[in-house]
A and B are shown apart, each in its own frame.
Chain A
């Protein structure tokens, strides 16, 4: 921003000087060579600049005082936020520090991480299958896939979670056997569907339904000509999907999946209602005893922020991997910050109109 200001100041000082003394430009050797501007219209106002003056004039970008004012307001608000975080002793930062690495918190964190990982892995596997089924020419698979996605997306996640947790009250025993025929094995539902398994099943099905739509959308974004060209070359269906369609669908799939992934990381905290000790529930257990509600919620929040930041960085690298051959300029990692947090540094290259200004962190 300093270069902007200096350019503006020098422009202000230069232009009036040239206007005040037009003879100085006409007297210069270059002007003498081309002769006086005889072709200038005679009915022009007397203070109209000559062509030489216009050519010598420096370009002054449009001033945007609104940006300066809003930047100032934002800085004041940010300072207020920092100030209150530091000075309001009720945040109890020493307590936050004390509980940050508490054993039960770390234990909960571990459960949150692996539950998220397991749910996403299972969900995306199912979701890919559902998307393939929906896009297949098989009417039965299509209907099944549509019906599943419709049902799961319609039911609130909390209800699904409670349903699987309470499955025992609906079906006290689950058995494995031939329908309407003999049973081979049976198990008490309450034993099978512990809180953690109910959470795993409910959340996995939820991810499956939403990821199916994301993957389907990505596949539909690949032009039909790509599949035809691959078919004409004699490539098999599996190979066409893996080598031709999926890599081209990924740029559409990854950003939406980043949302789903981060959403699911935080949505796992819903399992606290069925007493599964994830990150949030571990914090709740502690503040239920000592009533230090705010510091413990801050501990959980800070951990969620750390995990989300790591995931966003991972998303950036995945997006870059799949930008091969596309017209988007490859972003340097530093550029990620410049583009998304421009208040903290000017972009190396001015953003062109029409260029995507949103990045992975936005």
Chain B
């Protein structure tokens, strides 16, 4: 991670509103390749919307997101941003993995079918090869041997670890986590955070929306604090978490710590 390297993700002037409600109010953010960025902030501050703009699950009203040098969801031509057809957006999404708060595993497919579906359909990998790779990933998240279980037969922590393995199966350049432990019982949070921590160790680029302050301090390279759709605090986790200058951030952090 040299200072001269172009960031993997560049977000500039991002704005988004739902009706009269302004959710993102001009967000600028860089995420360096191989780094972990944690998005903090009270609910309704725009963290999830920002994350969802990165793989175009939300369409911004203004500004742009650039991943690996490509503008997400648009093509720049003659001073205009033309919306990309669905097929192109799909291609862009394949290099960005996402893990949801509610896991969103496919309940009618077994664990291994969940992992194999996209690599076979999108990457054109042969099924046996995808199954082998899926088994390997399950071992990596500590779920070797559970490939034939259906999602509802697993605990929440196990489901979330399968969801992480499913995202990894696409070999993404970037992983997005949308409050990955918020739907879990407290005793299951640790096993999911351990998997994310391991991933950080392998140099995976990640953007994580979370309320786990301890995890943020330990794993993140950058902590970003959002309030009312703006970044009000950004920097090394130790600075942002321990010496916040912004009042809102101070109040929030003293409440959750």
Contacts and interface: CB of A to CB of B under 8 A. Distances in A.
A63 interface: no
Contacts, number: 81
A322 B106 CA distance: 13
A228 B90 contact: no
A234 B105 CA distance: 15
Given A229-B106, A232-B93, A325 B151 contact: yes
A116 B52 CA distance: 47
B106 A232 contact: no
Interface residues of A, number: 23
B65 interface: no
Interface string A177-210: 0000000000000000000000000000000000
B104 A228 contact: yes
Contacts of A244: 106
A248 B104 CA distance: 13
Contacts of A229: 98, 100, 104-106, 163
Nearest to B55: A232
Given A225-B102, A229-B100, A234 B151 contact: no
Interface string B99-142: 01010111111100000011001100000000000000000000
Nearest to A327: B152
Contacts of A2: none
Nearest to A243: B117
Nearest to A229: B104
Contact of A226 (B91, B97, B98, B104): B104
A149 B241 CA distance: 57
B152 A225 contact: no
Contacts of A247: 108
B15 interface: no
Interface of B: 55, 57, 86-87, 90-91, 93-98, 100, 102, 104-110, 117-118, 121-122, 150-152, 163, 166-167, 170, 176
What 7 A-B pairs have minimum CB-CB distances, sorted nearest first? A234-B94, A229-B104, A232-B98, A233-B118, A325-B150, A225-B104, A234-B93
